[in-house]
Amino acid sequence: MPRHLPGLLLLLWPLLLLPPPPAAPSPMARPGLRRLGTRGPGGSPGRRGPAPAAPASVPYSGTGQPGGARGAGVCKSRPLDLVFIIDSSRSVRPLEFTKVKTFVSKIIDTLDIGPMDTRVAVVNYASTVKIEFHLQTHSDKQSLKRAVARITPLSTGTMSGLAIQTAMDEAFTVEAGARGPSSNIPKVAIIVTDGRPQDQVNEVAARARASGIELYAVGVDRADMESLKMMASEPLDEHVFYVETYGVIEKLSSRFQETFCALDPCALGTHQCQHVCISDGEGRHHCECSQGYSLNADKKTCSAIDKCALNTHGCEHICVNDRTGSYHCECYEGYTLNEDRKTCSAQDQCALGTHGCQHICVNDRAGSHHCECYEGYTLNEDKKTCSVLNQCALGSHGCQHICVYDGNASYHCDCDTGYTLNEDKKTCSAIEEARRLISTEDACACEATLAFQDKVNSYLQRLNSKLDDILEKLQANEYGQVHR
């Protein structure tokens, strides 16, 4: 198309700045092509549904609110190795090329730029190819935008295939600042053109895609739709864009912001995690459970863990499950829980007074105890209480003559008639002669007492003499019976 004279260009300049009238649907618009203001079905991971276009002066945040790419803490751009491949052939007029540079700058505005975030390079092409700057050249937005503003058009020709090959061989290399495969940083190229490629793009684009480069194709005005689709990655309805004029290409920046935006479902509250949502970055997340719970097979809900059944509780004696999904330790009877809330120590229940014994508590070595009863009592079947024993009936009373049961585990000894109970309260002595002597003499007087003792001794001697006679007779009788 012939160039207008400079004077005529000055006259037409105000008209060029006016927004173009609404264009009728282009006959080239077909399936596999995204037009400004439309969206294909579905959407790439981390994208939202249709949203109204934001004013051109404020990048669309992806949340329906003006602002930067972070979207009030919900949207953050994914780290990328991003290369713009821009057509600056003669068919792209200077003002139109400025629009392309503005489009690139607006996309940069929506990204998080930095060595650990997104890195940007620009490949400028026409019949020749020039790498304007590499991925490692600029690490902040301002220097990037200044570098973009300095780019100038090249010449005639549209060697799109050569441009893609150059980007693949020189821009997307580790030496040029691209991050290696182990980093899992996506490699993305956006090619902007308004014409038909003058070389073969099908094979070189296929090689680029096979090497891991995701290709977006933006066509303007007379761009060949079939060539755009040959260059772009699948699905085409998410990687091919078309606008009628360069005057509206800037507004595509909001679409790319949506594409490169990593939504945070945890911040949005759309995660459906029952307990805890963990953001993994790049719009991904996973669910976790509170302590004492495990994640179910649906990876969303949680169930209480029976740590007692799992035997991971560490309780020395008894593990008790709590309703909250946790547990606590307890000890066997006779033991108390230590400060570590896990181990147990034997306790002196007798000293604590918690034994329940009616009479006597006896500690055992095993940290337990047993009950015993006072003398004259027996332990009942409950092993706690005691019942009275009748020691007179048991024959364990020790009385020489008679045991008298008094009840309540008590008894006393008595003597047969003619005997008196001695001071030990057990044995008895004969009292008939003593009574006769006491009745005739003054037992209280000292002389009477001495006389009584003498007479008693006399009687005892005579009694012993009689016993000796009896023993001799018995022995003689036994001897006579033996010699018969």
Q: Categorize the per-residue pLDDT at 364 as very low, low, confident or very high, splitting at 50, 70 and 90.
A: confident
Which pTM value belongs to this model? Answer: 0.46
Does residue 95 have a pLDDT over 60? Answer: yes
Residue found under tokens 């899992």 = 184
Model confidence over 107-145: pLDDT tens digits? 999 898 999 999 999 999 999 999 999 999 999 999 999
Model confidence over 54-83: pLDDT tens digits? 333 223 233 233 333 333 344 567 789 999
Considering only CA atoms, which of 236, 228, 238 is closest in space to residue 260? 238
Considering only CA atoms, which of 269, 303, 305 is closest in space to residue 285? 269
Q: Categorize the per-residue pLDDT at 292 as very low, low, confident or very high, splitting at 50, 70 and 90.
A: confident
At how many degrees (to 10) do helices 141-149 and 94-109 cross?
Answer: 170
Task: Supply the pLDDT for residue 201.
Answer: 94
Q: Which residues, in sequence order, are CB contacts of 351 under 8 Å at separation 6+?
A: none
Model confidence over 166-219: pLDDT tens digits? 999 999 999 999 999 888 899 999 999 988 899 999 999 999 999 999 999 999
